[in-house]
Structure 1
């Protein structure tokens, strides 16, 4: 066996061991915080803009080179287990799959994600100091739509409906 082949087989065995350990400890539906792009300790701004508060949708598995990954709600494909944290303080409750905090920085990503899953969304505008500005996002068709303002948490439910939890600042 070539040195490359032996190294690859060791990487696959270690990756499978990690995936098996993950699966034994964390069933599908586990609440997690996922960082698809980069962990916050390496790039806090990028991590904040791509951070997903979500649940797992598959067991972990390994890629061809042995990297253990898991799929989560709100993201297509697998995310390396190194970019997954267990969410012990989750805003998610029973039956909720995904939570996004709407900010000016996450607005575009969340709007694109809603488009990708076939949910109508458009900017929510209000007059502030005599100027019409975007202050949030309207999600869904009228009637029955919800409005999330910057700072609010958008919750996606298993039945494909949405709700909004007001930010602590807005609620006070």
Structure 2
């Protein structure tokens, strides 16, 4: 999508998930603060609240028009960034440990400090942050399960 197409579809103030460095990092949940523009070398970028400079449109995911819900897949590569993202949102999270091949291993994140309300996201699952600040997990389908 080029800058003109982005601007026609998403006005300034659109809720977005922006990945300033790489998509393996936890996203910045924010809103656009400028219209998108094209740099001299051809990359289309937009500025967002909470980040100086422009972020390539390939690293910006607008939220669906009718919601402020965001989704974030959890992987071994981004667990620290996701944990930091949750910390910034004021949500307690820590590694979820299980025995794997006889060794205690981190296999995901436990989210929430209250035992009754906490949820577990394992690698491959998607953490969903809802507009009201709550979180749910969309679990990956286990191998061998029929759909």
Structure 2 counterpart of 1:160: 133
CA RMSD of aligned residues (A): 3.7
SS in 1 for 2:113: coil
Residues 99-152 of structure 1: per-residue CA shift (max 9 Å, x gap): 111111100111111112211001111122222111110111222111100110
Higher helix share: 1
Partners of 1:159 and 1:171 lie apart in 2 by 35
Deviation at 1:81, TM superposition (A): 4.1
Please list every run of 5 or more consecutive structure 2 residues that lacks an aligned counterpart in the other structure.
37-43
Structure 2 counterpart of 1:103: 75
Structure 2 counterpart of 1:141: 113
Pairs within 5 Å for 1:16-27: 18=3, 22-27=6-11
Whether the aligned pair in 2 keeps the contact of 1:36 and 1:83 (CA below 8 Å) is: no
Larger of the two Rg values belongs to structure: 1
Residues 139-172 of structure 1: per-residue CA shift (max 9 Å, x gap): 1122211110011000111111001001134683
Number of residues paired by the alignment? Answer: 136
Whether the aligned pair in 1 keeps the contact of 2:126 and 2:139 (CA below 8 Å) is: yes
> Are 2:20 and 1:36 aligned?
yes
Higher strand share: 2
Higher mean C-alpha displacement, 162-171 vs 139-148: 162-171
